[in-house]
């Protein structure tokens, strides 16, 4: 029979939505105030006096992805062997806030990601926050349409497990034929 390959790899766009929902809930922002950066349709315009947040997930180059854990498991009911290979990839979540409360919201998010509820949420979604890779919130001003807007940036890093499984049926039969040639003069 053929090998069947399965994977447990969450797409970056799925993580964008997951993080957007997380931020919306934690910071109690309305849905139209937490948006995905680099939208295909372009970004929605906002006003200088309204708080808005943009999120985007990126793959970060990291040597941790080189290490693979492998295992195998035999299922006696189906008589199949499952070979599992898992690795970790590093994700970088870029969060950009604009608005009068951008510094407060950015600082609050940076604190909330370390709470037990947040850690549990990340764990359930195959994520583990990497505290020593996380940057401090960065506050600045950005010129938009000849006006200085408040801006705050935060980059959060996560390990994310990647699993590939290969299901292979066992050999259910074989036919071995042994042929020997007799040498002349042997009995």
**pLDDT score of 103 more than 80:** yes
Average pLDDT over the chain, rounded to whole? 86
Q: What are phi and psi of 3, to 5 degrees?
A: -80, 145
Q: 130: which 2 tokens?
A: 């990497």
What pairing do the DSSP bridges indicate for beta strands 34-36 and 52-60? parallel
**pLDDT score of 2 more than 60:** no
**End-to-end Cα distance, the chain:** 44
Local confidence band at 78 (pLDDT 50, 70, 90 cut-offs): confident
**pLDDT score of 186 more than 80:** no
Instruction: Please tell me whether residue 186 adopts helix, strand or coil conformation.
Output: coil
**Could you tell me what percentage of the chain is helix, strand and coil, using 3-state DSSP and rounding each to the nearest 5?**
25, 40, 35
Local confidence band at 187 (pLDDT 50, 70, 90 cut-offs): low
Q: 156: which 2 tokens?
A: 């959060």
Virtual CA dihedral for 137, 30, 26, 13, nearest 10 degrees? -80
**pLDDT score of 93 more than 90:** yes
**pLDDT score of 120 more than 60:** yes
| 5-43 pLDDT tens trace | 677 788 999 999 999 999 999 999 987 899 999 876 766
- Type and span of the H or E element at 142: strand 138-144
Q: What is the pLDDT of residue 141?
A: 92
Mean pLDDT of 70-86: 84
Local confidence band at 113 (pLDDT 50, 70, 90 cut-offs): very high
What residues contact residue 85 under an 8 Å CB cut-off, 6+ apart?
Answer: 68, 69, 70, 163, 164, 165, 166
**pLDDT score of 4 more than 70:** no
């Amino acid at each position: 029979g053929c090998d069947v390959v399965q994977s447990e790899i969450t797409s970056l766009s799925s993580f964008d939505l997951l993080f957007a929902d997380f931020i919306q809930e934690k910071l109690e922002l309305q849905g139209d105030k937490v948006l995905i950066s680099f939208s295909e349709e372009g970004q929605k315009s906002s006003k200088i006096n309204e708080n808005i947040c943009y999120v985007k997930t990126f793959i970060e180059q990291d040597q941790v992805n080189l290490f693979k854990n492998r295992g195998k498991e035999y299922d006696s009911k189906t008589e199949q062997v499952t070979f599992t290979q898992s690795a970790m990839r590093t994700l970088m979540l870029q969060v950009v806030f604009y608005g009068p409360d951008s510094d407060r919201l950015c600082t609050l998010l940076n604190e909330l990601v370390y709470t037990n509820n947040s850690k549990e949420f990340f764990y359930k979604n195959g994520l583990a926050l990497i505290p020593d890779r996380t940057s401090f919130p960065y506050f600045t001003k950005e010129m938009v349409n000849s006006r200085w807007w408040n801006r705050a940036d935060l980059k959060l890093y996560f390990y994310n497990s990647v699993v590939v499984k290969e299901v292979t049926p066992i050999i259910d039969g074989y036919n071995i034929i042994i042929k020997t040639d007799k040498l002349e003069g042997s009995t």
